[in-house]
């Protein structure tokens, strides 16, 4: 798909991934409708309000904007909240996805659905490929997988993308693991604890946006993993961040198990979320960099003042 004459509808565009995708697609597509359910904090005139849980709002957007491509990023991603309110998780992550897929099918629109690498149970000894069978162990992952099934069922022209541990957004939007470690560095902590029993593949949003654009140009529909090259535990990632910021000699890194953080994160996560970009490699368009390189780039771009060098 060439975007130079296409209208693009992006849901959930106020989040980490949306803020990377929007400028990249804005430079290539003539018209974009970017929506989110929370817009007050962003102060961006390009972001519009729309609740994807409301079918009539979706129908109105399709009718008035008439998109050629939909990037469905909107999701309830708070794992603990999904467990507490599974009905809202299902409505936000699965039902809305089915509704959008049906509208795309009815109107001849291509859809990109952002799923999660968390759809696997984490029991595999090695990297997951697109051919492995998902088996979600938490409500969040189950509802995202339900969304995958809905898209495959009703829409032919679709891309289902599974990212890994998301990295990006900058100080105002980033609320993920990288920001949590950087905050501890900024606060002058002399000891940082991080788990060694969870391993995954960090995914930088800007690399993701660039690779997604390359994938769309192929018109090769299907399911794709889109993560940084390599893998690491949460401890590995935290140690890399401390090193990038120049505090390896001043901050003590302590290895712990997930039980250490049970109070704040009680919902069990998969032990193994390592993904392999087999589909992208087969197409020759795997532009995702090693996660260490990507995180260094991200920190130097967005958090230079957190670092000594």
Burial of 87 (0-12, 13-18, 19+ CB in 10 A): exposed
Overall number of domains in the chain: 2
Q: How confident is the model at residue 309, as a pLDDT?
A: 63
Average pLDDT over residues 49-62: 97
Q: Are residues 238 and 217 in the same domain?
A: no
Q: Are residues 155 and 254 in the same domain?
A: no
Q: Range of 249's domain?
A: 174-201+230-273+290-306
Q: In this predicted model, what pLDDT tens digit does every residue of 191-236 receive, in sequence order?
A: 999 999 999 999 999 999 999 999 999 999 999 999 999 999 999 9
Q: Are residues 162 and 192 in the same domain?
A: no
Check whether 253 has a pLDDT greater than 90.
yes
Q: How confident is the model at residue 46, as a pLDDT?
A: 86
Asked if residue 280 is part of any domain, the answer here is no
Asked if residue 71 is part of any domain, the answer here is yes
Residues 224 and 276: beta-carbon distance below 8 Å: no
Nearest to 143 by CA among 164, 110, 113: 113
Check whether 282 has a pLDDT greater than 70.
yes
Residues 18 and 26: beta-carbon distance below 8 Å: no
Residues 75 and 18: beta-carbon distance below 8 Å: no
Which CATH number is 103's domain given? Answer: 3.40.50.720
Q: Are residues 257 and 113 in the same domain?
A: no
Q: In this predicted model, what pLDDT tens digit does every residue of 169-184 receive, in sequence order?
A: 998 888 889 999 999 9
Give me the chain's average pLDDT, please. Answer: 95
Q: Are residues 16 and 134 in the same domain?
A: yes
Q: Are residues 133 and 215 in the same domain?
A: yes
Q: Provide the Cα torsion 141, 154, 72, 97; round to 10°.
A: -50
Asked if residue 241 is part of any domain, the answer here is yes
Q: Are residues 265 and 211 in the same domain?
A: no
Asked if residue 85 is part of any domain, the answer here is yes
Q: Are residues 94 and 212 in the same domain?
A: yes
What is the band of 41 on the pLDDT scale with cuts at 50, 70, 90?
A: low
287: region left, alpha or beta (phi > 0 left; psi from -120 to 50 alpha)? alpha
Asked if residue 285 is part of any domain, the answer here is no
What is the band of 9 on the pLDDT scale with cuts at 50, 70, 90?
A: very high
Asked if residue 282 is part of any domain, the answer here is no
What is the band of 38 on the pLDDT scale with cuts at 50, 70, 90?
A: confident
256 Cβ contact partners less than 8 Å away, ≥ 6 residues apart: 193, 194, 195, 196
Q: Are residues 193 and 269 in the same domain?
A: yes
Which CATH number is 261's domain given? Answer: 3.90.25.10
Q: Are residues 246 and 131 in the same domain?
A: no
Asked if residue 235 is part of any domain, the answer here is yes
Q: Are residues 130 and 209 in the same domain?
A: yes
Asked if residue 37 is part of any domain, the answer here is yes
Spatial distance between the Cα atoms of 261 and 258, rounded to a whole number of angstroms: 6
Q: Are residues 71 and 211 in the same domain?
A: yes
């Amino acid at each position: 798909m060439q975007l130079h004459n296409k209208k693009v509808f992006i849901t959930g565009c106020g989040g980490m991934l949306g803020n990377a995708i929007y400028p990249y697609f804005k430079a290539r597509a003539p018209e974009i409708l970017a929506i989110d359910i929370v817009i007050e904090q962003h102060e961006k005139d390009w972001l519009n309000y729309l609740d994807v849980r409301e079918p009539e709002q979706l129908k109105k957007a399709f009718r008035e904007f008439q998109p050629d491509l939909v990037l469905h990023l909107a999701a309830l991603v708070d794992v603990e909240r999904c467990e507490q309110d599974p009905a809202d998780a299902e409505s936000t992550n699965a039902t809305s996805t089915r509704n959008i897929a049906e509208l795309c099918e009815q109107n001849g629109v291509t859809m990109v659905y952002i799923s999660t690498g968390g759809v696997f149970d984490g029991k595999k000894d090695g990297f997951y490929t697109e051919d492995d069978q998902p088996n979600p162990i938490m409500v969040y992952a189950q509802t995202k997988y339900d969304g995958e099934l809905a898209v495959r069922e009703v829409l032919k022209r679709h891309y289902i993308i599974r990212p890994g541990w998301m990295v990006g957004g900058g100080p105002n939007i980033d609320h993920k693991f990288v920001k949590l470690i950087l905050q501890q560095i900024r606060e002058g902590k002399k000891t940082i604890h991080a788990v060694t029993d969870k391993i995954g593949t960090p995914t930088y949003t800007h690399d993701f946006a660039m690779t997604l654009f390359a994938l769309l140009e192929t018109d090769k529909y299907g399911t794709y993993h889109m993560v940084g090259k390599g893998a690491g535990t949460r401890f590995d990632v935290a140690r890399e961040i401390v090193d990038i910021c120049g505090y390896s000699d001043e901050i003590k890194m302590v290895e712990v198990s997930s039980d250490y953080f049970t109070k704040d994160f009680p919902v069990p996560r998969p032990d193994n979320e390592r993904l392999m970009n087999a589909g992208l490699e087969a197409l020759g368009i795997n532009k995702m960099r090693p996660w260490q390189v990507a995180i260094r780039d991200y920190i130097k771009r967005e958090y230079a003042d957190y670092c000594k060098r």
